[in-house]
Amino acid sequence: MKNQERLGELLEEIKELAGEDLYLHGADGRILASTKDPRSELLRKAAAGELSPEDVSAGARQLGWEAPGAMFLLIMDPGRLLGDVAVEAARALFEKDLLAETRIDAGERTSGSEKLLFLIHASEWEDPVEAASLLQTSLEVETVTDVRIGTSQVFDSFSSLSLAFRHAGMALKTLEIFSQKEKVASWRHLGLQLAALRLPEADVSDYLDSVLGEGAGQIFSDSELMRTAEVFLMTGLNSAETARQLCVHRNTLNYRLDKIERTTGLDLKRFEDAAAFRLASLVWQRKE
């Protein structure tokens, strides 16, 4: 252990002269010491798409890094929050289950600029959303800033790191585009939001015209009608519960639903039309 620490110290001294990070490899190709955390660097390269799945697995073997079994990724945009604060909070919360952490200039891969990425061993965290929610809550309480976190599904091989990053990044992007209230999103639960994001930009206008005709703007700009539709869909097309939550008479509710049908041609009391309206509303939010 002392020899390895001494090697690290020597590399740091050489780094000062060389001006770049250095790695010392043993005869078997494994990294004996470095001026960067090699696990974090491997995670960064996998997330940035610089390595193929096969190269990621080979890199982990070179580090002597064995997959612990079930893992998941959390990705967050620190925003006004200092990244160091988030990193320390994650270390304190996950302790030995925090396998690696890194920062990545995500750019177009997730939307926005620098992101913080945490690789977590799922030994005590059966649900990634639970882990993300605890981190999100602790950060907001500590810093009084708005924090949002996207999660991947659980996976068990380092070769899945790049895919898991894309999934977690997509979950974070849905929060940025579609949700003002939710603070945590999981790839597993994206549903129609994923379909709305994957619709090619060139097809957005055509899709809205085909589903809603010329009535899209009129409906989506009416906050009262949109709130009515939102609650109606959230209650599983339950008219009585919708009227109760909106504090309106059933006749008022029916009038609003009828107006949506007259304008768009979609009867929200029918499941197929309700699903089409929901997807169209998400596509509209993305367009705006």
Contact residues for 2 (Cβ-Cβ < 8 A; gap 6+) = none
Boundary (domain end) residue, out of 189, 223, 246 = 189
Copy the structure tokens of residue 281: 């509303």
Residues 49 and 23 in one domain: no
Residue 220 and residue 284: Cα distance in Å, rounded? 8
Q: What pLDDT shows up at residue 171? A: 92
| 18-41 mean pLDDT | 60
Residues 250 and 141 in one domain: no
Residue 154 and residue 72: Cα distance in Å, rounded? 5
Residue 234 has pLDDT above 50, yes or no: yes
Taking the mean position of all CA atoms in its chain, how far away is CA 7? 38
Alpha-helical segments (H) within the chain: 2-18, 38-47, 53-62, 83-94, 128-143, 161-178, 192-198, 204-212, 216-220, 223-234, 239-246, 250-264, 271-287
Residue 20 has pLDDT above 80, yes or no: no
Residues 85 and 25 in one domain: no
| DSSP, res 170 | H
The boundaries of the domain holding residue 6 are 1-36
Which one has a higher pLDDT value, 114 or 46? 46
Residue 155's alpha-carbon distances to 29, 53, 87, 103, 165, in angstroms, are: 27, 13, 22, 21, 11
What pTM was estimated for this model as a whole?
A: 0.73
Residues 28 and 58 in one domain: no
Residues 47 and 185 in one domain: yes
Residues 55 and 105 in one domain: yes
3-state SS of 172-218 is HHHHHHHCCCCCEEEHHHCCHHHHHHHCCHHHHHHHHHHHHHHHHHH
Residues 94 and 104 in one domain: yes
Q: What pLDDT shows up at residue 204? A: 81
3-state SS of 5-19 is HHHHHHHHHHHHHHC
Q: For residue 124, with 0-12 CB atoms within 10 Å meaning exposed, 13-18 middle and 19 or more buried, which class applies?
A: exposed
Residues 111 and 56 in one domain: yes
1 pLDDT band (50/70/90 cuts)? Answer: very low
Residues 137 and 30 in one domain: no
Q: What pLDDT shows up at residue 78? A: 73
Q: Which among 1-5, 81-85, 168-172, 210-214 has the top mean pLDDT?
A: 168-172
Q: What pLDDT shows up at residue 154? A: 93
Boundary (domain end) residue, out of 150, 170, 189 = 189
Mean pLDDT, the chain, rounded, equals 82
Q: What CATH number does residue 223 fall under? A: 1.10.10.2840
Residues 44 and 163 in one domain: yes
Residues 70 and 86 in one domain: yes
Copy the structure tokens of residue 78: 């620190």
Residue 260 and residue 225: Cα distance in Å, rounded? 7
Residue 183 has pLDDT above 50, yes or no: yes
Residue 76 has pLDDT above 60, yes or no: yes
17 pLDDT band (50/70/90 cuts)? Answer: low
Residue 81's alpha-carbon distances to 112, 115, 139, 157, 221, in angstroms, are: 15, 11, 9, 31, 33
| 23-49 mean pLDDT | 69
For 243-267, what is each residue's pLDDT tens digit? 999 999 999 999 999 999 988 888 9
Contact between 33 and 24 under an 8 Å Cβ cutoff? The reply is yes
Contact residues for 16 (Cβ-Cβ < 8 A; gap 6+) = none
CA angle 157, 186, 131 (to 5 degrees): 75
Contact between 144 and 94 under an 8 Å Cβ cutoff? The reply is no
Residues 105 and 139 in one domain: yes
Domain tally, the chain: 3
Q: What pLDDT shows up at residue 8? A: 56
Q: What CATH number does residue 48 fall under? A: 3.30.70.270
Contact between 260 and 268 under an 8 Å Cβ cutoff? The reply is yes
Paired strand residues for 273: none
